[in-house]
Amino acid sequence: MTPEDSKYAKSHEYVHMDGDVGTIGITDYAQKELGDVVFVELPQPGTQLEADNEMGSIESVKAVSELFAPVSGEVLEVNDLLRDKPELVNTDPYGDGWMIKVRLADPSEYDELMDAQEYEDYIQTESH
Amino acid sequence: MKKTPLNALEHELGGKMIDFGGWELPVQFSGILEEHEAVRTAAGLFDVSHMGEITVKGPDALELLQKSTCNDVSKLEDGRAQYNGLLYPTAGFVDDILIYRMGADDYFVVVNAANQDKDFEWLADVAKTMDVEVKNEGPNYAQLALQGPNAQRILQPLVDVDLSAIKYYRFTRGHVDGVPAIISRTGYTGEDGFELYIAPSESQRIFRKLIETGEVKPCGLGARDTLRLEAKMALYGNDIDQTTTPLEADLGWIVKLDKGDFYGRDVLERENAEGPRRKLVGFEMVDRGIARHGYPVVDGGEEIGVVTSGTHSPTLKKPIGLAYLPLEKSAPGTEFMVLIRGRETRARVVPTPFYKRRK
């Protein structure tokens, strides 16, 4: 189920906060919608992200989808495991399938994201 | 949306349904990679009932098919099937089709779902001055494709004919679990297998029976696309259409210029003599990325070609695709640039098919 300790964007990315650093990936719902992930393109460390702007792309066997930055900030770290094992996004989206770590520029952007319950309600309406 | 007779069963089996040219069909059940591998190593079952069937019968049946296609239909014998191109006078494809010869003046033509009405109208139009009856029989057939190296062993106990006697691109009439069927050793996966044409009312039962052997995985359109692309089988609407000729599409083996007159022959004769101006080639990526349908091929900022199909190859575990390139840039080994979301990304022409099964 959707982890309670993270917050969620309408474009199906999650942010898990640890101090002022947010770990970002895509939700379990999103990975199921995409199907088998074969390639993830992510921003380099040092990149300044702006909330709601495209930050990369994710290729499944059947299609490509854009990744959007759920919050603004500087990219500190990229999950190198995904280079050789993009399927981690499918098998462990909230764990080893994380994508980037970002130092948030504006913590209020995090507060504005949906909590787990709101996100579950949101995907209910979106999938019907 | 239109539904095949298997629609309810596909929902029951957990199929993830999508709109495919106006048909509600499963893109996947368990996952594209898993389904793909099942077909390459064991067996998978596809509902392809959306495909159209047109019968051509009468004294001028052969003449009609010879006039409207580029392959030599007179080479067919009873019980044989042929891949062919239904062409406009421009040599562009109306459709790519399978023709089954049931008898000397009796042919069964299998066409792409989205082209069914267009093909029927075109054939009926060409037939106007001929003594031949063209009928759209699509709604009277469900089509199941059982594909994979284990297909024959799994299907044999359910049928009343000797499957080992049916060679590739041949067919017979028989029964599948008591249901009258056209049983054809054909497919769209590059693997051994059979296509079964049966009554729609019996199709759910037969599909279920095959799945319940426990040896067959239900498969969706996603795996069908990765399988056919590895085998370099053309997809109408992606790789070929009314603007592409069979010679451009690297389908010279279905062009028989010496068979007599047919629509598009003069164009193909010229292309054959001078070389087509562009050619459909297979490619792999040199840089990271997946080039997909519609992505432009560029050279010095100028668009010189286009990607028609592209995906991650589950068998080769790398991105592959097909693209139209100018003839002079189409030799294997040639590198070119594909524009992937605004970025020039290197690709290389490779020999095809990408995958060939061991016989």
Kindly list the domain boundaries of chain A, sorted by start residue: 7-126
User: Closest Cα of chain A to B142: distance in Å?
Assistant: 26
For position B276, what pLDDT does the model report? 96
Judged against a pLDDT cut of 90, whether residue A1 lies above it is answered with no
Nearest residue of B to residue A61, measured between CA atoms? B312
**Does B341 reach chain A within 8 Å, measured CB to CB?**
yes
| pLDDT one-digit tens code per residue, B30-44 | 999 999 999 999 999
CA atoms in the 13 A half-sphere facing the CB of B351: 1
Instruction: Give the B window 16-55 contacts with A, CB below 8 Å.
Output: 16, 27-28, 31-33
| pLDDT one-digit tens code per residue, B100-125 | 999 999 999 999 999 999 999 999 99
Q: What is the pTM of this model?
A: 0.93
* Distance set, CA B233 to CA A73, B225, B251, B306, B309 (Å): 46, 9, 10, 17, 11
Q: Which of B16, B289, B312 sits opposite A61 (nearest CB)?
A: B312
Domains belonging to chain B, first-starting first, are: 2-49+141-230 (3.30.1360.120), 52-138 (3.30.70.1400)
- ipTM surpasses 0.85: no
**Does A59 reach chain B within 8 Å, measured CB to CB?**
yes
- Per residue, what are the HEC states of chain A? CCCCCCEECCCCEEEEEECCEEEEEECHHHHHHHCCEEEEECCCCCCEECCCCEEEEEEECCCEEEEECCCCEEEEEECCHHHHCCCHHHHCCCCCCCCEEEEECCHHHHHHCECHHHHHHHHHHHCC
The one-letter code for the residue type at B182 is: I
Query: Are B289 and A39 an interchain contact pair (Cβ–Cβ within 8 Å)?
Result: yes
User: Which of B19, B32, B288, B290 best probes binding to A when mutated, by most A CB atoms within 10 angstroms?
Assistant: B290
Q: Which of B27, B288, B341 sits opposite A62 (nearest CB)?
A: B27
User: Which of B312, B315, B343 best probes binding to A when mutated, by most A CB atoms within 10 angstroms?
Assistant: B312
Averaged confidence pLDDT in chain A: 95
For position B68, what pLDDT does the model report? 98
- For residues B188 and B223, the answer to whether their CB atoms sit within 8 Å is no
B310: its two tokens: 């592209």
Chain B residues with CB under 8 Å of A62 CB are 27-28, 32, 222, 225, 311
Q: Please provide the CATH number assigned to the domain covering A7-126.
A: 2.40.50.100
| pLDDT one-digit tens code per residue, B297-309 | 999 989 999 999 9
Query: Are A62 and B225 an interchain contact pair (Cβ–Cβ within 8 Å)?
Result: yes
Query: Taking the CA atoms of chain A, what radius of gyration do you get in angstroms?
Result: 13
Work out the average pLDDT over B61-70. 98
For position B80, what pLDDT does the model report? 98
Query: Are B33 and A39 an interchain contact pair (Cβ–Cβ within 8 Å)?
Result: no
- For residues B42 and B217, the answer to whether their CB atoms sit within 8 Å is yes
Instruction: Find the DSSP H helices in B130-173.
Output: 151-155
Work out the average pLDDT over A51-73. 94
Q: Which of A36, A59, A64 sits opposite B32 (nearest CB)?
A: A36
* Distance set, CA A40 to CA A51, B58, B286, B344 (Å): 19, 57, 16, 18
